[in-house]
Amino acid sequence: MLKSLFQNSICLFILLMLASCANRGTPSGGEKDIDPPQITKTIPKNFSTNFTDKEIYIHFNEYVKIKDLQKQLIISPPMDPEPIITPLGTASKYIKIVIKDTLAANTTYAFNFGESIVDNNEGNPYSYYKYVLSTGTYIDSLSVKGMIFDAINRKSDEFVSVMLYDIDSTFTDSIIYKQKPKYVTNTLDSVTSFSIDNIKAGKYLLVAIKDENGNFTYQQKSDKIGFYDDIISVPTDSVYSLKLFKEELDFKALRPKQVAGQKIAFGYEGDYKAMQIEMLSPKPEGFEKRITKDKSADSLFYWYKPKLELDSTRFVVTNKTYIDTLKFRFRSIDKDTLIINSLQSGGLNFDEDFTIEGSIPLISINEKAITILDKDSLNVPFTTRFNTLENSYAFKFNKKESDTYKVQMLPNTFEDFFGNTNDTLNYTLRTKTYADFSNVRVTLKNVEYPVIVQLTDAKDEMKYELFASEAKVFDFRNINPGNYYLRVVFDTNANQKWDSGNYLKKRQPERISYYPDLIDARANWDPIIEFVLE
């Protein structure tokens, strides 16, 4: 018995010792590598002059990879064709640059790698490495510095290209559409400041572009742009501010297409408000047309009756000074069905009109076939307003707290362009209490009128706005609770909307100022904001 206990104790002791040894011997993997790769040599040397080579080698003390090269690498001046840079997708102890372009004489070139160079193990970046060479006898060392802002939003875009164009005998303002700049840099993804380095003394046009296509030329349809009003002279100690904005597109009519029976869609770019559409073919007796706006696309719908026995026709589209003739071929397609929709679903704010819209142009309304009853079944008087382009009726009536409104529209209340009428329509609308909303009062100091005062959400989308041509208190009443940003639009031309800029017309966008603090508009809470503008 004692022998057995002794043997068991020995076995247990041995097992415990083995477990202890196993624990002590487990490798920890060592400390995590947090050091960026280091450059051991470059061939030719960085900041070489009289450069004539076609290949550049940058050697490191460990294996490196290149990531996001298309976004991160900026070559100034740009090369065309672009150099071949390896490795891409694999690791290597060196980066190889093969120059395919014929380099200009007496010019300094800079390869700005941003944060594209990382080590292979932990991805530690070699931040903002720059390789510089000169085809002349010296390295250009002058700089242009500044800041990028967004003309309407609180924050500017990332990866904004900032460019200098040489002012010489061949310069025209249209150069930004056709040619790459003389010098370029990029704000990358962390800062909105810029520095264009290694440039020559001279006179330049300074432009910033959110270059969506990555081709260093301005495309009005896709890119934002910012420009400095005057030509700049280098050397300079000035710090330049550029405001990025999206230009309003030049108007252009697109090829029309038939989308339903006796309904043609005319796509467009730019401002459609003065757009006119006329058919050139002879029109039958009793011909009528209507034009409505497509809610989901930049198109106008051209409705017509009666049906035309034509294979094709031509339309003339005009807009102020614009004129174009467009061909159109008719197709046999079924006509749309009349559908009446309401823009509200259940809830209705105190200052909001109940609105319905039709899928086919509405030509008449019988208001006697419409009743609005409150929760006590009392008739509520109303008036209507028709918007031809949006094909909608707005119903205006006085609303009370915590009330329910039942709207009934009997058959044949509405008749559309093709003679269709509606079936019975019923809607139920409810109001909340005033305590469910917030009221925000804004007073402005040191401001020049006219202005537009707006409350926006976190995405800089406008939720509420008030206009004033002279000094007043701005009361935003019965707004939905939430967090808002306050901005003031300096409406210089008093057209009650923010106007963007235009590069060729040398017009900057209208100024906008943001209140520095977030506004907490709680239910049953009335914040009072004083905004002192500079």
What pLDDT score was predicted for residue 51?
Answer: 97
The order of strands in the sheet holding 528-532 is 474-479, 438-445, 528-532
Q: Are residues 230 and 256 in the same domain?
A: no
Q: What is the CATH number of the domain that holds 325?
A: 2.60.40
Q: Are residues 261 and 349 in the same domain?
A: no
Q: Are residues 80 and 154 in the same domain?
A: no
Q: What angle do CA 371, 375, 381 make, to 5 degrees?
A: 35
Residue where a domain terminates, one of 89, 110, 134: 134
Q: Are residues 123 and 52 in the same domain?
A: yes
State both tokens at 527.
């914040």
What pLDDT score was predicted for residue 24?
Answer: 42
Q: How many domains does the chain have?
A: 5
Is residue 5 in a domain?
Answer: no
Is residue 4 in a domain?
Answer: no
Q: What is the CATH number of the domain that holds 492?
A: 2.60.40.10
Is residue 379 in a domain?
Answer: yes
Q: What is the CATH number of the domain that holds 178?
A: 2.60.40.1120
Is residue 225 in a domain?
Answer: yes
Q: Are residues 310 and 346 in the same domain?
A: no
Under-70 pLDDT residues of the chain: 1-33, 190
What pLDDT score was predicted for residue 424?
Answer: 98
Q: Are residues 351 and 297 in the same domain?
A: no
Distance CA(488)–CA(152), nearest Å, equals 10
What pLDDT score was predicted for residue 31?
Answer: 63
Give DSSP secondary structure letters for 343-387. Answer: S--SB--TT--EEEEESS-EEEE-GGGEEEE-TT--B---EEEEE
**Contact status, residue 454 vs residue 486, Cβ threshold 8 Å:** yes
Q: Are residues 105 and 165 in the same domain?
A: no
Is residue 30 in a domain?
Answer: no
Torsion of CA 430, 431, 436, 441, to 10 degrees: 140
Q: What is the CATH number of the domain that holds 349?
A: 2.60.40.3710
Distance CA(144)–CA(194), nearest Å, equals 8
Outline where DSSP puts E strands in 188-311: 193-199, 202-210, 224-227, 232-234, 239-244, 252-253, 257-260, 263-269, 275-279, 288-293, 299-305
Q: Are residues 147 and 237 in the same domain?
A: yes
Outline where DSSP puts E strands in 151-191: 161-166, 183-186
Domain hosting residue 82, numbered range: 39-134
What pLDDT score was predicted for residue 252?
Answer: 96
Q: Are residues 129 and 153 in the same domain?
A: no
Q: Are residues 449 and 418 in the same domain?
A: no
Is residue 33 in a domain?
Answer: no
Tens digit of each residue's pLDDT (9 = 90 or more) over 149-170: 999 999 999 989 999 999 999 9
The answer to whether the peptide bond before residue 381 is cis (omega within 30 degrees of 0) is no
Q: Are residues 289 and 363 in the same domain?
A: no
Q: Are residues 237 and 256 in the same domain?
A: no
Is residue 308 in a domain?
Answer: yes
What pLDDT score was predicted for residue 68?
Answer: 87
What pLDDT score was predicted for residue 32?
Answer: 67
Q: What is the CATH number of the domain that holds 91?
A: 2.60.40.1220
How far lies 81's CA from each of 76, 98, 176, in Å? 13, 11, 18
- DSSP conformational letter for 481: S
Residue where a domain terminates, one of 222, 244, 266: 244
Residue where a domain terminates, one of 87, 113, 134: 134
Is residue 187 in a domain?
Answer: yes
